[in-house]
A = this chain, B = another copy of it.
């Protein structure tokens, strides 16, 4: 097949209307969209996806952790490793309609387009929807792709207890998505995930395509500072052991580190709690979380060490005791340089400016990168808003991203232009 035969555009009307249609599933009476993993709402979303996959004539497979696959194989390519496209269709509580769904439906749209254009791919193409990417109901997040990549046993994952006391395995059985395939049954040749950025960079810069070359490492800690509860009026400053003040010092320290990191480290204290939490009592206890991210493992470790050393000094100076607990730790992921190049070229061919960038958020791609060459394509999120009903990406950007995916897939199926 000649390069000129590569289709240039997906069916934008179909992609956009399906995004809307899937987005209407799981709306409650107040128009709040929630499809938590393995709930009735998730089942409704899955059923819709399966019906579209079947309508495209793809082979449907479900693995034991409930990951859904639609696979397009031809007689000519059936012994080749597939290109896998995908993301997830579960949502957070009160979600937007793009996060995850955009990648899954674009993957399916690319396959549909190639079929309709009678394109003959040199490899099978599969679209995947991974279970429980959001991790709201069951921990950890990105669970389906983590299990698929061998990072968590199926049994442990199925035994996960939800925030509502349910067991994931039972819930998957209940909604009819406890499949029989062993996770990992398809060994992809490559995995490409198209996703909204969920951050402000592309939108702010007016760049339509992000060629995502790596994904930040994430370190979550819970820090507990124990001081002494004392009367706010009667305790001289120098006799205080103020857990709240010590917490405030940590927060400002982390910002100083982030400022000094040349845009590489981000640090966030998103939760905090004082005890006894009374206006006129010096806090005896301050508990808060630290979210540290850096795309370089060595740098991330340096940040963790710097924080640990600072906490030691602080405990001595403020005469408080400090304990830390690691909640989450993912090393940074470097995506496949060749695929990132292909993404840049695909954007360029379509006249779309692109930018090499780091993913600040976690994605299924970071798990699948353990088992095959992987990369991601980002499109702008207006104002960087995500996990919120205000999450929005312009239709032109959605279509542009899907067209880039189409071009990348065409290229990676082995056809030289």
Contact = CB atoms under 8 A, between A and B. Distances in A.
A232 interface: yes
B282 A268 contact: yes
Interface in A224-262: 229-239, 242, 244-245, 247-249, 251-252, 255, 258-259
A277 interface: yes
Contacts of A229: 388
Given A244-B270, A247-B248, 20 more contacts: A197-B234, A199-B233, A200-B236, A200-B239, A232-B268, A232-B291, A234-B361, A235-B384, A236-B266, A237-B266, A238-B263, A239-B384, A245-B255, A245-B269, A248-B249, A248-B269, A249-B252, A252-B252, A268-B279, A270-B279
A386 interface: yes
B232 A270 contact: yes
A272 interface: yes
A394 interface: no
A220 interface: yes
A91 interface: no
Contacts of A269: 244-245, 248, 283
A187 interface: no
Nearest to A280: B291
Given A245-B251, A266-B237, A232 B293 contact: yes
A360 interface: yes
B244 A252 contact: no
A385 to B, nearest CB: 8
Nearest to A252: B248
23 contacts: A197-B234, A199-B236, A204-B239, A231-B384, A232-B270, A232-B293, A234-B386, A235-B360, A236-B263, A237-B255, A237-B263, A244-B270, A244-B272, A248-B251, A248-B252, A268-B281, A270-B279, A270-B280, A270-B283, A271-B279, A272-B272, A279-B289, A279-B291
A281 B388 CA distance: 12
Contacts of A140: none
Interface residues of A, number: 60
A289 B281 CA distance: 11
Q: Max chain B CB contacts within 10 Å: which of A245, A263, A359?
A: A245
A237 B259 contact: yes
A251 B269 CA distance: 15
Contacts of A234: 197-201, 359-361, 384, 386
A310 interface: no
A159 B244 CA distance: 36
Nearest to A258: B237
A355 interface: no
Q: How many copies does the complex hold?
A: 2
Interface string A107-138: 00000000000000000000000000000000
Q: Max chain B CB contacts within 10 Å: which of A218, A242, A255, A282?
A: A255
Interface of A: 197-201, 204, 216, 218, 220, 229-239, 242, 244-245, 247-249, 251-252, 255, 258-259, 263, 266, 268-274, 276-283, 289, 291, 293, 327, 359-362, 384, 386-388
Nearest to A204: B239
A337 B332 CA distance: 69
Given A252-B245, A278-B270, A218 B236 contact: no
A245 B316 CA distance: 23
A335 to B, nearest CB: 16
A28 B373 CA distance: 67
A366 to B, nearest CB: 11
A233 B270 contact: no
A360 B240 CA distance: 14
A299 B117 CA distance: 80
Contacts of A239: 200, 204, 384
A380 to B, nearest CB: 12
B263 A233 contact: no
B263 A270 contact: no
